[in-house]
Structure 1
Amino acid sequence: MKIVIQRVSRASVTISNNKVADIKNGLLVLLGIVDDDTQEDINFLVRKIANLRIFNDENEVMNNSLLDVNGEVIVVSQFTLQAATKKGNRPSYIKAAKPVIAIPLYENFVQTLETAICKKVQTGEFGADMKVELLNDGPVTIIIDSKNKE
């Protein structure tokens, strides 16, 4: 499971001209799932999202977590994070989990994150053509792969 975390001043997701998610201060999380991802991967990444100290404190030093600043979150499923690009110029998405596996993991990820931060997590729509807008604050962008814990 891979995530891209972006600290945002604002972010939104629009599907068919309908805004389905809209946050101010918080995180936009792009989530890429593979077949062998488990609850252990979810728990690891959720702990990181909730506790990473990537928000500024009163001295403009990144000492605060999402929990500390009571930030909001949007999670967007993005299978392209699992692209293989070593051969040729056309990315291969063979490692990305098929919907029958990915959807339950995606939903579980969102629910586990909601429990961890004690608030509703906004989302895009799995498999939809989404327009994601964000104002990256910093910019701060962090990539985490749950398979690289050590």
Structure 2
Amino acid sequence: MKALIQRVTSAKVTVGDELISIIGRGCCVLIGISQNDTLKDVEYIRARKLLSIRLFDDDVGKRWQHSVKDKNFELLCISQFTLYNRLKGNKPDFHLAMQGTEAFNLYNTLLNKLREQYSEDKIKDGVFGAMMQVHIQNDGPVTIEIESPRSSETVSSKESSTFSIQL
């Protein structure tokens, strides 16, 4: 599982002309789910990173001291299978991304666990599988990428085996 975390002063997601979610200060998190992700990957991203990564200043301006949870800020989570892309020539290939119902269920599990550990009203999301417009006011800008250890190992081993086959 991969998360691209952007510190924001505000963010919103729309589908067509419909406003789906909006947050103030916090993080907009793009979530990619690989085909081999499990509940262990959800736990790594949720428990070890999203709610505890220190991206915010303290009250006297010292950087990297507080998490979203420490500051009582919000998270806007957006499912984004394109984070698990590989280029074949100039065309993106998404075969490493988990598909359909399985991805939907794992994504919702992540959201539910975030809400349980933090606050239901502080965790917002988009519409899984929809063509969304994500509007952010990046703060810094600060953008951090994290990936669960099993996902990065799986992707690396697949890339290595694909590369060796192509030689």
* TM-score bracket for this pair, using the shorter chain length: over 0.9
Shift of 1:119: 2.9
Deviation by residue 1:36-79 (Cα, 9 ceiling, x = unmatched): 11111111111201011111112322201111100111110001
* Residue matched to 2:112: 111
Between Structure 1 and Structure 2, which shows a larger proportion of helix residues?
A: 2
Q: Following TM superposition, where does structure 1 have runs of at least 4 consecutive aligned residues deviating by more than 2 angstroms? A: none
Q: Deviation per CA, 1:78-104, whole angstroms, max 9, x where unpaired?
A: 01000012x311110011111121000
Q: Tell me the TM-score normalised to structure 2 length.
A: 0.85
Q: Give the number of equivalent residue pairs.
A: 148
User: Which structure 2 residue ranges, 5 or more long, are not aligned?
Assistant: 154-167
Which structure 1 residue ranges, 5 or more long, are not aligned?
A: none
1:49 is matched with which residue?
50
Q: Which has the larger radius of gyration?
A: 2
The worse-fitting range, judged by mean Cα deviation, of 40-49 and 114-123 is 114-123
Equivalent residue runs for 1:1-150 within 5 Å:
1-47=1-47, 48-60=49-61, 61-85=63-87, 87-120=88-121, 121-147=123-149, 148=152
Post-superposition shift, 1:107? 0.5
Give the partner amino acid of 1:32. G
Residue 118 of structure 1 deviates from its aligned partner by 2.4
Identical positions, percent: 37
- Partner of 1:20: helix, strand, or coil? strand
Distance 1:103 1:64 in 2: 30
Q: Distance in 2 between matches of 1:44 and 1:96?
A: 18
TM-score relative to the length of structure 1: 0.94
